[in-house]
Structure 1
């Protein structure tokens, strides 16, 4: 039954992404404002999140929204735990500002989904280019942050297994310091229900915890990255203690 429910959810996403993507592309052809495309894309993302609840029993709860800046001109760099696809779909719908993901350019080649995100004024990079890729992040990140758009990055660089800690990279902290904007750490327990690279979706609750903004003025990117990691990983252990057993036991699986 778990496999069947997961199949239905995957099929649902595969079918519904087509009309929404066509809507995004049509809005672009017609020269409609970017926010029109954004709202169409977010509507499909939220539909997919809700469908995960309908078909698979995946729910979510959010805490810490009151920590977010209320000034519409205030840019921030969001640094989130990355365990599955779930958070990439959810964050644009629970945050009060438009966000721009920094993502690998290979995602642009995914039919329909990639075509949509390619129309959203986000930051796609070629990881092979190293310093040139980071230069692009800084250049486009500054432009977006100056517009009040929030730049979202996953400091571990890729999805990690439940209960694991990835290698926190300092690129997001460097961007925030260079642009003089705060960073906002986000802990997300998505692998509890939707594991990394997993097909099966397990019933349960995904917890999202948003931390208070951390000022970056006068900070060093290394120490700021460590502070973000410490907050996120401590919060992950609070939200999902079963995934971080004591005494070296095997982490809990969904």
Structure 2
């Protein structure tokens, strides 16, 4: 792994106040929306998904209002309109676990099974067709990713995978896991590479959120036809690495 970029960003009163207000909003809104989604358990999936979408739209609005943090997306034209795809995304922050739902719809994501045990929020998430894996059992986790991933793709849901497996600090790089690429190979669906620098504004394991504009770059679809998973993975990793370098260069 390469050495992470160490930010010199300083937190002032506005950062602490905005982050605190956002935290309070997240706690209260998650409880309310979680109850609403659980209460709608017997409604069609599209209804529950819409409840979650409204929560995310409001959360990102509050993130901008309280913390001065917004985002810009380049490459939206690369998202297929007539079929689903596997999205292989850079993973730096908690931001992308929710924000990608605002412009890649409808979708599900691969996540830790333990997240579904969180009261209300996790319980509600469990009704939204996530692919929840146990990282301690890698063989079973891979089988679940492929089996459930194919089902979700055939239902028309984009499947978001974070191939680094965990949040990686800005400037650092972790070798991509092959699960998402294997899903592409087995399913025949294309891969959409996605890069962003959310970790510079919403650092991993940090309470504080800093003002600014998160840059998101979406790459052209990578065909999985007649390709080995390692080649799909290498192509996606190379594009994301190059896009991250461009994001860094554009700051100067």
Q: TM-score, normalised by structure 2?
A: 0.91
Question: Counterpart in 1 of 2:203?
Answer: 195
- Please report the RMSD computed on the Cα atoms of aligned residues, expressed in angstroms: 1.4
Pairs within 5 Å for 1:122-137: 122-137=130-145
Gaps of 5+ in 1: 246-254
Alpha-carbon distance in 2 for matches of 1:229, 1:26: 41
Alpha-carbon distance in 2 for matches of 1:70, 1:242: 29
Question: Counterpart in 1 of 2:23?
Answer: 10
Q: 2:230 aligns with which of 222, 226, 232?
A: 222
Pairs within 5 Å for 1:111-150: 111-150=119-158
1:62 and 2:73 correspond: yes
Pairs within 5 Å for 1:166-205: 166-205=174-213
Q: Give the deviation of 1:67 after TM superposition.
A: 0.9
Question: Counterpart in 2 of 1:45?
Answer: 56
- For the Cα contact (< 8 Å) 1:42–1:93, is it kept in 2? yes
Question: Counterpart in 2 of 1:94?
Answer: 103
SS in 2 for 1:127: coil
Q: 1:82 aligns with which of 78, 87, 91?
A: 91
Gaps of 5+ in 2: 1-12
- For the Cα contact (< 8 Å) 1:64–1:210, is it kept in 2? yes
Question: Counterpart in 1 of 2:34?
Answer: 21
Question: Counterpart in 1 of 2:169?
Answer: 161
Question: Counterpart in 2 of 1:252?
Answer: none
Alpha-carbon distance in 2 for matches of 1:242, 1:106: 38
- For the Cα contact (< 8 Å) 1:46–1:89, is it kept in 2? no
1:234 and 2:226 correspond: no
| 1:186-223 deviations in Å (ceiling 9; x for gaps) | 01110121011111111000011111100011111112
Q: Give the deviation of 1:242 after TM superposition.
A: 8.1
1:208 and 2:216 correspond: yes
| 1:151-199 deviations in Å (ceiling 9; x for gaps) | 1100100111011111211110011010011000001110121011111
Question: How many positions carry a matched residue from both structures?
Answer: 239
